Amino acid sequence: MECWCLSKRKPWLYWLLMIHTHMVVWKIQGDCIEEERKALLEIKDSFIKLYNSKMDNFLPTWVDYGGDCCEWERVNCNATTGHVTDLSFYYLRGMIGDNMEFGSKLWPLNVSLFLHFKELTSLNLSYDYLDEEIMKTELERLSSLKKLEVLDLSGNRDIDNDILPSLKTLTSLKVLDLSHTSLNGNFPTNGYKCIFFVFLFPN
Ligand SMILES: *[C@@H]1O[C@H](CO)[C@@H](O)[C@H](O)[C@H]1NC(C)=O
Ligand SMILES: *[C@@H]1O[C@H](CO)[C@@H](O)[C@H](O)[C@H]1NC(C)=O
Ligand SMILES: *[C@@H]1O[C@H](CO)[C@@H](O)[C@H](O)[C@H]1NC(C)=O
């Protein structure tokens, strides 16, 4: 009723309120970088395509309509810049009730999608059934993320020594977890400039 009166008698006030409301909505959506929001949804989609079932409990906060992706589960942003800084995909299968029928189906993750997150400092891909064939060639793309300091690849059994050349290009890394993978032998420390902590092979 209040609104009806306003629009009837003081149309300018009504329009002012409308404009104000639109600005508020714009600002809320503006809190999360659109390019990053789209990339997150693409990553979610690629996982859904792979398993193609039982998706109700899978990243339920990651939705396509509006909203601030900085508020989504497993995502952290820098409060000042609004850019995504931390992403955790830790054991995504666990969210859809991991079971035997999934077997060792590998996730053909498009590594280039992470290049949309220019401020990314930490990426957790632990226990995600990553595909060695993709990782050994694509992982080096992450080298253009100059702020990437933490990379967790632990628990990906398909990954072996073939990823080492690609890893060598990730010079901003400070923490690299390769435990519970199929890497073996000694970790070649030559050429791995800024890696301070490497967790290896406690299989
Ligand atoms: C957020 O980004 C600003 C600008 O790049 C930076 O100065 C600040 O340290 C960042 N905050 C955190 C918590 O990383
Ligand atoms: C992988 O992601 C990049 C960056 O978003 C995109 O340009 C490319 O088309 C994607 N590749 C595939 C095979 O989907
Ligand atoms: C990755 O996520 C798991 C589960 O939250 C956590 O235990 C692990 O420490 C994370 N890895 C890193 C390097 O922070």
The closest-lying atom of ligand 1 relative to the alpha carbon of residue 85 is: 14
Q: Say what the pLDDT of residue 198 is.
A: 59
pLDDT of residue 146: 97
Residue 161, helix vs strand vs coil: helix
Question: What's the start-to-end Cα distance of the chain, in Å?
Answer: 68
pTM (predicted TM-score): 0.83
What's the pLDDT tens digit per position in 176-199? 999 999 998 777 666 554 444 555
Nearest residue (by CA) to ligand 2, atom 13, is: 110
Q: Structurally, how many domains does the chain consist of?
A: 1
Q: Which residue's CA is the closest to the ligand 3 atom numbered 10?
A: 124
Q: What tokens does 17 get?
A: 């309120």
Q: How many CB atoms lie within 10 A of CB 125?
A: 26
Q: Which domain holds residue 81?
A: 32-199
179 lines ligand 3 (CB under 6 A): no
In this prediction, residue 200 has a pLDDT band, given cuts at 50, 70 and 90, of: low
Closest ligand to the CA of 76: 1
The DSSP code sequence of 1-22 is: -HHHHHHHH-HHHHHHHHHHHH
pLDDT tens digit string along 27-53? 444 578 999 999 999 999 999 988 876
Q: How many other C-beta atoms are found inside a 10 Å radius of the C-beta of residue 152?
A: 22
What is the sign, positive or negative, of the torsion defined by CA atoms of 56, 60, 64, 66? Answer: positive
CATH of the domain at 153: 3.80.10.10
Asked if residue 68 is part of any domain, the answer here is yes
What's the pLDDT score for residue 196? 47
Note the ligand closest to the C-alpha atom of 78.
1
The closest residue, in CA terms, to atom 7 on ligand 1 is 80
Residue nearest to atom 6 of ligand 1 (CA): 80
- Answer whether residue 2 is part of any domain: no
Contacts (Cβ under 8 Å, ≥6 apart) of 142: 111, 114, 115, 123, 148, 151, 170
Does residue 124 fall inside a structural domain? Answer: yes
Mutate to test the pocket of ligand 2, among 33, 36, 42, 112 (most ligand atoms within 8 A of CB): 112
Tokens at residue 8, please?
A: 């009837």
Residue 42 covered by a domain = yes
Pick the range with the lowest mean pLDDT from 139-148, 156-165, 187-196. 187-196
* pLDDT band at residue 203 using 50, 70 and 90 as cut-offs: very low
Q: Quick check: is 23 in a domain?
A: no
Mean pLDDT of 108-134: 97
8 within some domain:
no
Which two three-digit tokens encode residue 3? 């609104």
pLDDT number for residue 178: 92
Is 7 within the bounds of a domain?
no
Mean pLDDT across the chain, nearest whole number?
82
The confidence score (pLDDT) of residue 26 equals 45
120-132 pLDDT, tens digit per residue, is 999 999 999 999 9
**26 within some domain:** no
Averaged pLDDT for residues 85-92: 97
| Tokens describing residue 178 | 């390769």
Higher-pLDDT residue of 9 and 162 is 162
Nearest to 123 by CA among 136, 134, 109: 109
How many Å is the Cα radius of gyration of the chain? 22
Amino acid 123 reads L
> Tell me, what's the pLDDT at 55?
75
Nearest ligand 3 atom to alpha carbon 124: 1
Strands (E), the chain: 75-77, 84-88, 122-124, 150-152, 175-178, 197-200
pLDDT above 70 covers what percent of the chain?
75
